[in-house]
Homo-oligomer: A and B are copies of this chain.
Amino acid sequence: MRHFLSTLDFSRAEIEALLAAARAFKAGPHAQTLAGKSIALVFFNPSLRTRTSFELGMHQLGGKAIVLEPGKGAWPIEFDDGVVMDGEPEEHVREVARVLSRYVDAIAVRAFPKFQRWEVDREDRVIQSFARHATVPVINMETITHPCQELALALTLQEKLGSLAGKKMCLTWTYHPKPLNTAVANSALIIAAKLGMDVTLLCPTPEYVLDRRYMDAAAEYTKAAGRTLTVTHDIEAGYRGADIVYAKSWGALPYFGRWDDEKPVREASRRFMVDAAKMALTPNALFSHCLPVRRNVKVTDEVLDSPRAIHIDEAENRLHVQKALMDALLRGVL
Q: In the complex, which of the residues A46, A91, A99, A177 has the most CB atoms of chain B within 10 Å of its own CB atom?
A: A99
The answer to whether B316 touches A103, judged by C-beta atoms less than 8 angstroms apart, is: yes
A302 to chain B, nearest CB (A): 10
B-contacting residues of A (Cβ < 8 Å)?
Answer: 36, 38, 40, 43, 46-49, 51-53, 55-56, 59-60, 64, 66-70, 72-75, 78, 81-86, 89-92, 94-96, 98-100, 102-104, 177, 291-297, 301, 304-305, 311-312, 315-316, 319
- A294: B residues at CB distance < 8 A: 85-86, 89-92
* In the complex with contacts A38-B59, A91-B292, A315-B51 CB distance below 8 A: no
Q: Please give 10 more A-B residue pairs, beta carbons under 8 A apart, in addition to A86-B294, A103-B319.
A: A46-B75, A47-B74, A56-B66, A56-B104, A78-B295, A81-B301, A94-B295, A94-B304, A95-B291, A95-B311
The answer to whether B38 touches A56, judged by C-beta atoms less than 8 angstroms apart, is: yes
Inter-chain CA distance A86–B301, complex, in Å, is 14
A-B CB proximity, top 8 nearest: A91-B292, A102-B316, A85-B294, A90-B292, A48-B74, A99-B315, A84-B296, A59-B64
Partner pick for A296 among B83, B301, B315, CB 8 A cutoff: B83
The answer to whether B90 touches A74, judged by C-beta atoms less than 8 angstroms apart, is: no
Inter-chain CA distance A100–B315, complex, in Å, is 9
Chosen A-B contacts, 27 in total, with CB atoms closer than 8 Å, are A46-B74, A47-B73, A47-B74, A48-B91, A49-B99, A52-B103, A55-B64, A56-B103, A75-B292, A78-B295, A82-B296, A83-B296, A84-B296, A85-B294, A85-B295, A91-B291, A91-B294, A92-B295, A94-B304, A95-B292, A95-B311, A95-B312, A99-B312, A99-B315, A99-B316, A102-B315, A103-B316
